[in-house]
Structure 1
Amino acid sequence: MRTRGWQGNLPQDADEAQARILQAASRCVERFGLQKTRLADVAAEAGVTRQTVYRYFSSVNEMLSAVAAAGADDFLDRMGNALGWVRTADDAITETIIYCLHALPDEPALGLMLRLGETEFFTREATSSSAVALGAEMLRRLPVDWPAEGYDESALDGLAEMVMRTWLSFQQYPNHPPRTDDELRTFIRAWVCPRTPPTDGR
Structure 2
Amino acid sequence: MRRHGWSGDIPVDDDEAVRRIIETSRSAIDARGTVSVSEVAQTLGVTRQTIYRYFPTHETLLAATAVSSVAGFLDRLAAQLGSIDDPTEAVVEGIAYTIEQLPHDRYLGLVLQPGKASAFTAGVTSDIAIGFGRSILQRFGVDWAAAGFADGGLDELVEFMLRILQSFIVDPGRPARQGHALRAFLNDWIAPAVAAHAGVPIPHSHRR
In structure 1, give the amino acid aligned to 2:46: T
CA distance in 2: counterparts of 1:130 and 1:119, whole angstroms: 13
CA distance in 1: counterparts of 2:96 and 2:27, whole angstroms: 28
How far 1:91 moved relative to its partner?
1.0
- The DSSP-based 3-state class of the residue aligned with 2:197 is coil
Worse-matched range after superposition: 126-135 or 12-21:
12-21
CA distance in 1: counterparts of 2:94 and 2:71, whole angstroms: 15
Q: What TM-score does the superposition give when structure 1 sets the normalisation length?
A: 0.72
Structure 1 contact 105–115 (Cα < 8 Å) conserved: no
Partner of 2:93: 95
Q: What TM-score does the superposition give when structure 2 sets the normalisation length?
A: 0.71
Structure 1 gap segments, 5+ residues each: none
CA distance in 2: counterparts of 1:119 and 1:62, whole angstroms: 8
Partner of 1:155: 153
How far 1:176 moved relative to its partner?
1.7
Q: How does 1:23-38 map to 2 (within 5 A)?
A: 23-28=23-28, 31=32, 33=34, 37-38=35-36
Aligned counterpart in structure 2 of residue 125 of structure 1, from 90, 100, 123? 123
Structure 2 gap segments, 5+ residues each: 200-208
Q: Does 1:49 align with 2:46?
A: yes
Over aligned residues, Cα RMSD in angstroms?
3.4
CA distance in 1: counterparts of 2:144 and 2:114, whole angstroms: 35
Worse-matched range after superposition: 46-55 or 153-162:
46-55
CA distance in 1: counterparts of 2:12 and 2:75, whole angstroms: 27
CA distance in 2: counterparts of 1:32 and 1:72, whole angstroms: 15
Once the two structures are superposed, residues 67-92 of structure 1 have per-residue CA deviations (whole angstroms, 9 ceiling, x without a partner) of: 13322555434322221231211210
- The DSSP-based 3-state class of the residue aligned with 1:197 is helix
Aligned residues: 191
Partner of 2:76: 78
